[in-house]
Amino acid sequence: MRAEAAGLRWLAASGTVRIPAVRGHDRRWLVTDRVPPGTPSARAAVRLGRDLAALHACGAPAFGAPPPDGPEDAYIGLAPMRNVTSDDWPRWYAEHRVLPYLRRAVDDGTVRPAEADVVERVCARLPELAGPAEPPARLHGDLWHGNVLWGADGQAWLIDPAAHGGHRETDLAMLDLFGCPHLDDVRDGYQQRHRSPTAGANASACTSSSPSGARRAVRPGATPSRPSPRHGPRS
């Protein structure tokens, strides 16, 4: 829980996205403020997009950099995630966010060798596919829809991060991969704060492979859109 608590505090320190306050943690428990549940709305989604762009703009020391006081060895969902730093995003992403999970998925039998070969070939081409170089962004890191809580206050709150420094489009790809209510409104809000003609294109296509691979590596046959026991409100 140390990594998650450090990640929540790092995101909250940006003053951008809404994060439930961390009240305490130990090796087994994490206590945060409860978010009274509401319903998704277009207005909240636009605000989430704007705030997410502002979060990314806060930056990180390097690709793979953990939050302050966060461990190098962390988790994304139930899968181990190593925060090894680099200044080369395509190589770092392939070596630390795709290939380790791909190998586990092949070993577990959830990905066939022929399928793995396709992913490995994409990894080799990441430098040409990823688009212009960008500085490290401050990422939530596990931003599937189950980690977005739509509050009774009309705002979207983020929980359960795998926070680190990375490519900003990783969070956008994660929302797209597993589906997010009012996703077009989230994108519109993001573009209001971060205007880029390439946003949502090549890098997002590349980054969608990591979260999917992580879940297939540790939960054979799982349905990604179904929250695991670790995803959801904490009190």
Locate all alpha helices (DSSP H) within the chain, ordered by sequence.
2-13, 42-57, 89-93, 99-108, 113-124, 126-129, 169-178, 183-193, 202-207, 209-218
Return d(Cα 52, Cα 48) in angstroms, integer. Answer: 6
pLDDT surpasses 80 at 135: yes
Q: What would the pLDDT profile of 12-58 be if each residue is shown by its tens digit? A: 999 999 999 999 999 889 999 999 999 999 999 999 999 999 999 99
Q: What would the pLDDT profile of 137-157 be if each residue is shown by its tens digit? A: 999 999 999 999 999 999 999
Domain boundaries, the chain: 2-218
The topology under which CATH files domain 2-218 is Aminoglycoside 3'-phosphotransferase; Chain: A, domain 2 (3.90.1200)
pTM: 0.82
- What are the φ/ψ torsions at residue 120 (nearest 5 degrees)? -65, -35
Token representation of residue 37: 């549940």
Contact 175, 144 (CB under 8 A): yes
For residue 143, which of 114, 115, 165, 175 has the smallest C-alpha distance?
Answer: 175
Active site residue 142: yes
Q: What is the CA 222 to chain-centroid distance, rounded?
A: 19
Exactly one of 107, 108, 117, 142 is catalytic; name it: 142
Token representation of residue 111: 């990905």
**Residue at 19: amino acid letter:** I
Question: Which are the contacts of 196, defined by CB distance < 8 A and separation ≥ 6?
Answer: none
